[in-house]
Structures are given as C-alpha cells and as structure tokens.
A and B are shown apart, each in its own frame.
Chain A
Amino acid sequence: MAVTTSTPPDERTPDTAEGAPEPRRRRGNAVDVWLGVIAWVVGIAFFFPVFWMVLTSFKTEADAYTPTPKIIFEPTLEQYEGVFSSGIGPYLANSVGATVISTLLVLLLAIPAAFALSLRPVQKTSDVLFFFISTKMLPVVAAIVPIYVVVNEIGALDNIWTLIVLYTGMNLPIAVWMMRSFFLEVPGELLEQASIDGAPLWRTLREIVLPIISPGIFATALICVIFAWNEFFFAVNLTAANAGTVPVFLVGFITSEGLYWAQLSAAATLAALPVVIAGWVAQNKLVQGLSFGAVK
C-alpha cells in the first residue's frame, strides 16, 4: 500500500510567537505516540481470540479448562494428532479441490467477460454489469430448495463437482466486476499500439494485457479462494462424508467428539490456517480487489 500518511494534525508551520516550536512539536509527538499505543491495543484485542485459539490448540484438555485461563503450560501436539487421526485429511483435500478448481473456473470465465465489458465494450454494458451484480443481491437461501431437489434428482448429492459448480456461480459476478475494473486501468494507447503492431487479439491479451493486470487477477483469485474455502451453507446441505469440506468436518467433529476445547481449537486452527496465511501475504492486493479497483 502506498504509504501516503497525511500530515499529523498538530504539525503546523512552527510559530514564531512565544509558543516556540519546540514544546509544540513534542506535544504532537506525544499525541502520536498515544494514538500509536491505542492502535496497538485495539489490534491486539482484535487478534487475541485468534491467538487464544492457537494457544489452546497446543494445550491438553485439562489445561484448556481452567477457571483462570492459563498462559504458561506444557505445549503438546496431541490435539493435532487427534484431529488428523479422526480423518480431516479427505475433507482438507475436498476443500482444496473445490476451492482451487472453482477459482480457476471463475478466472477462465470472468477474464474474457470482463474484457468484453471493458476494453472492447459490447452494447448494453451497464445492463450486463447490473445483471451480474444483481445476482449477488439475491440470497442463496431462496435457491437452496430447488438446488437441493435438482441435485438430488440427478444423483449429484455429496459430489465435489456440485460444490465446484455452485462456488463458481457464487464467485463469478464479483470476479467479473473486479476484473473489469482492473481491465479499465490498462491504457487504451497500449492496445492501439498493439493493433498497429499487428498483434492479433489473443496475443495482445496474453502478452500485453495479462501481464499488466496480473496483480488484479491475483487479487480476484484470492478473494474467490477466501469465499470458497470458508463457504458453509451449500457444503453442509449438499455434501456429507464423501465430498464434505473442512467447515463440514468441523461441525461433524464437534457433534461426534463433543465440545473438547483444545481439540476443537486445533481443528479450527487447521481450518482457518490456509486462508489466513494467504490473506496475510496478500493483504494489499486484497484491499485493491475488494474495492473493485476504486482505489489505486
């Protein structure tokens, strides 16, 4: 993120009056330091539950259930072993499969669509855009009944491809919007130059446009990954042991094992970890993506 901090409010042009610039500056710094401290406190407060979850995942159940929460304890990997031995593996594989394949499909469909809506706009561009975004406005609950019935009818319940198709449909509208705003940032002169140079359309796209918008593609993909990985509603209603994803595993896990906090924390940590790390690594891109490129 471009670090364009605004001038701190108290840093005015130094007065020549008795006030003398010195103490004033010091006061400004003091305010800054305090606001910095507040920011740290809030940051830690927001993060603390996550920290506690990770911490708990390394405790024994006995250490997890204490009236006074324990910070010092003997860390153990016992919970993670427990989670793995209760079979999170296939669920993780399903999550990875559904997330990766649906994200690739989304990109495959969204990139050409966004291209048609930006660089070589078709007629009625804004109607099409409106249609795409309006599908996001309609709650999925209203569609789940027929989806269930149809999926049941064609024998595709508890099938990973069902989730892939639905996740693609779920992320596609947002992806089209995001990709379009990234496409719009490609200078028109470049395309004109390419057409004078005699590059066919697909080459212009591949060799010139895609390298420029690759950060945008990355951001779009990341957002699709987050939403697909974390999706629960379709997964819980349409899958079971076969095609279940990690969130489904979490639910099944607590119902079968009861609420054991330490083990639960280990499972939750494993469920959240991939997306958290991806988000941390790409936080700048995330903002740009989510604001539809409205932010440069």
Chain B
Amino acid sequence: MAEVVFDQASRIYTPGAKPAVDSLDLTVADGELVVLVGPSGSGKSTALRMLAGLEPIDAGSVRIDGRDVVDVPSKDRDIAMVFQNYALYPSKTVAENMAFPLKMRGMDKEERGRRVRQAAEMLGLTDFLDRKPKAMSGGQRQRVAMGRAIVREPQVFLMDEPLSNLDAKMRVQTRAQIAELQNRLAVSTVYVTHDQVEAMTMGDRVAVLADGKLQQYATPPELYDRPTNAFVAGFIGSPAMNLLDLPRSSTGVTLGGVEVPLPREISDAAGSRDRITVGIRPEDWVLESTDADAGSVIKAVVDVVEELGSESYLYAHLAEDTSTSIVVRGPGRVKVRFGDPIAVRPNPEALHVFDVETGQRLP
C-alpha cells in the first residue's frame, strides 16, 4: 500500500514532437482508486505505462511510497497490471497464470497455492483453475487477469481499460465488482478508461486528461458541479453540457433573442468581456408552456427526441438562431415530436460560465 506521485512527469515519444504526457502532476493517496479519463490519444495509457515502468520517464519523476522509481525496472516497482486484452499466458492454466508472478518472486509452492485458491474464491474462479485461458469466456478471462493482479498483493494496481472487451451488461457488473474488491483490499489503484460513466462511478477521484495535459483532478461530484474549464465541462456528463458562446447584455447574456440574467458573482467575474461561454447541462433547462410570454422564454424547434423511459432528451435548434442547437432533458414521457415547438428557460442558479478564449471557468 502506498502513495503514488507523478511529479512533473513527461513522456516524449519523438524528440521535438508534442509530449504524449506533458508535465503531469498527480497524487494518488494510499488506498485510493483514481481514474484517468480523456479522449482517445490523450495520453492515459502512456501515463499508466510510465508508472508501470513500461515507458521511460523523459522528464520529472514518479514516486511510489516515497521512492523515486524512474530507474527502477517494472518488476521491482511492486505493482500489478491488468491489460485491456488481459495478457494471459496462453500456455498456462488459470492457476499457473495466477501463480506465475509469485513463482518469479521465489515464493514457496504452498504459499502460492494458498494465495491462488484464496483469490480464485474471491473471484468465483475455483472451478476453472485447471482450464487454459482459450477455453474461457471474456468475463472469466477478465477475472483471471484480476486474480493474477490480486495474488501479488502489490502496492499499486494498474488497469488499462480492463472492461472494454466485455459486453455492456458484464461491464456494469464487473465495474461494481472491481470497485468493491479494491475497496476491500484498499490497494492504491490507477484505472484508465475512456468511458466517463466508469470514471464517475468507480473513481474516488478522477483525473481528466486532454492532449497529454491534466485538465482537472477532483472527486466525481466536484468534476460534475464545478468543471474547471470548458473541455472538462463538455467531456463529463452525457449528453454533454450545452456550451454556448453568447454576447453579454446589461444584466447577463442574450440567448435566442431573450435576456438571460446572470447571478451577481458570475457577472462580476465576467468583467468587461463582450462574449462568454455559457454552459447549461441538459437537466438545467426548465420546460415552459409554449404559450408563455415571448420575452421570458426561449423558443426552439425539436429535431430529435430520445426517450429512455425514465427520462427523455430533446435535441432542438433555437427558433431565433437556427444554427444554435441545444439538448434539453425532459420527463420520461413527452408528447413533442420532430418539428414541434418548445419553450425553455435555463435555471440561472446552475449556469457555468467560461472565458471564450481560454476556456477557464469564471469565477
């Protein structure tokens, strides 16, 4: 068990090119599960592999339990990794796969057997111990890979999209299992995924990466409620937050020809900017009657309706400004269809405001 620290760590694949991971600062507390998320190519896997010792650290340092591991080979870092394709040894049985890292560390046979049995029990693999990986389903293989990580009792678990080869239902189930297991074992864990639902449900804290740079590192609620910039705001949440680039008016901003007042502190923070980016989550629109007074509601025309049962999402464009599209969350059953008019009003308490140029949150 240990604390993991990335200290200005960088990885540059091709000299002169943009770093794949750029001066990453990140601290994983002892026993914490931290999720790295970001779009494809943002450097998540690279960061994880730097921690694993599979990629060199070109600048900065990485520390595990206070020890600088830059020059430490992976086998001596006391970490265990679960790969996307599981990397099970095809010629070995499940039991041999799980015992292999222990054998390499010179553990005696009895202790190996004990640990393997214990892990197999924990993961419901007892009946499969003598099978080869080839004869197992994706979900079972995933559990073997987990088992091989667990038996090591390492200081840190590393997982790179360990669920992406499973079907949707398996994924939800296994996600919960991993989170529960990690909680029980209390081993510091770094978990890479591009699935933000995984990130939000599993992570004690979530680090959002884009272009090799850390955008925000926070707990899931904080990430959702106070995204530090427009990128994070747009990345976290599904459907994504409406990010609208709007002109200022005297009391707030103008949206679809309607004056939307801004709360005082936002207005102050926006200062003298002519335009600001306003973020409104789909659930932060209030649906109004279409008969309502023209000056107080925003008129829009529905393009697509997604009914999910418990709720629905209306994709619409503004009547005044047809090039602006918005997403609005509605109740489970809505009567509107393609081409129907709707009227909405943003909840002024829940607005997010960002600088147009830098994307930084205001205030």
- A touches B in complex, CB < 8 A: yes
A189 contacts the other chain (Cβ, under 8 Å)? yes
Partner-contacting stretch, out of A14-22, A192-200, A225-233: A192-200
Q: Please determine whether B85 and A187 come into contact, CB atoms closer than 8 angstroms.
A: yes
Contacting pair A211 B91 (CB below 8 A): yes
Chain A interface, >50% SS class: helix
- CB of A207 within 8 Å of the partner chain: yes
Interface residues of B in 92-144 (CB under 8 A from A): 92, 100-101, 104-105
Question: Is A203 positioned at the interface, with any CB of B under 8 Å from its CB?
Answer: yes
| Cβ-defined contact, B90 with A211, below 8 A | yes
- Evaluate whether A197 and B54 lie within 8 angstroms (CB atoms) in the complex, with A190-B89, A192-B87, A208-B91 already known: no
Q: Which residues of chain B from 292 to 334 have a CB within 8 Å of any chain A CB?
A: none
**Nearest CB in chain A to that of B82: its residue:** A193
- How would residues 173 to 204 of chain A score, 1 for a CB under 8 Å from any chain B CB and 0 otherwise? 00000000000000101101111111110010
20 contacts between A and B (CB under 8 A): A189-B83, A192-B52, A193-B81, A193-B87, A195-B53, A195-B73, A195-B74, A196-B53, A196-B54, A196-B75, A196-B79, A198-B76, A198-B104, A198-B105, A199-B100, A199-B104, A200-B104, A203-B104, A208-B91, A212-B91
CA distance A200 to B101 in the complex (A): 11
B80 at the interface (CB under 8 A from A): yes
Given A195-B73, A200-B104, A207-B89: 8 more A-B contacts, CB < 8 Å: A189-B84, A192-B74, A193-B81, A195-B54, A195-B75, A207-B100, A211-B90, A212-B90
Does B91 lie within 8 Å of A198, measured CB to CB?
A: no
Question: Given the complex of chains A and B, what is the CA–CA distance between A199 and B74 in angstroms?
Answer: 10
Q: Given A195-B73, A196-B79, are A187 and B87 also a contact pair (CB < 8 Å)?
A: yes
Q: How many interface residues does A have (CB within 8 Å)?
A: 17
From B85, B92, B101, give the contact of A198 (CB < 8 A): B101
Give the top 3 A-B pairs by smallest Cβ distance, nearest first.
A211-B91, A198-B75, A197-B101
Q: Is the CB of B54 within 8 A of A192?
A: yes
Residues of B within 8 A of A187 (CB): 85, 87
A189 to chain B: closest residue by CB: B87
Closest to A196 in B: B74
Residues of B within 8 Å of A198, CB to CB, are: 75-76, 101, 104-105
- Verify A196–B81 contact, CB threshold 8 A: yes
B104 in contact with A189 (CB, 8 Å): no
B333 to chain A, nearest CB (A): 41
Across-interface contacts of B91 in A (CB, < 8 A): 207-208, 211-212
Q: Chain B nearest CB: distance from A213 CB in Å?
A: 10
A206 to nearest B CB, angstroms?
A: 11
* Chain A residues within 8 Å of B, Cβ to Cβ: 187, 189-190, 192-200, 203, 207-208, 211-212
When each residue 37-81 of chain B gets 1 if its CB lies under 8 Å from chain A and 0 otherwise, what string results?
A: 000000000000000111000000000000000000111100111
Bound CA–CA A195/B81 (angstroms): 11
Interface of chain B residues 256 through 289 with chain A (CB within 8 A): none
- Asked whether A193 and B104 contact (CB < 8 A) given A198-B75, A208-B89, A208-B91, the answer is no
CB-defined contacts of B101 to chain A, threshold 8 Å: 196-198
Taking CB as reference atom, which chain B residue is nearest A193? B87
By beta carbon, the residue of chain A nearest B101 is A197
Whether A197 and B79, one on each chain, are in contact in the complex, defined by CB atoms closer than 8 angstroms, is no
Cα–Cα distance between A215 and B341 once the two chains are bound (Å): 67
The distance in angstroms between the C-alpha atoms of A203 and B53, with both chains bound, is: 19
B83 engages A193 (CB within 8 Å): yes
Would A192 and B104 count as touching, CB distance under 8 A? no
Which residues of B lie under 8 Å from residue A199 when comparing CB positions?
Answer: 75, 100, 104
Please indicate the chain B residues that have their CB under 8 angstroms from the CB of A193 in the complex.
81, 83, 87, 89
Q: Name which of A195, A197, A207, A212 has the most chain B CB atoms within 10 A of its CB.
A: A197
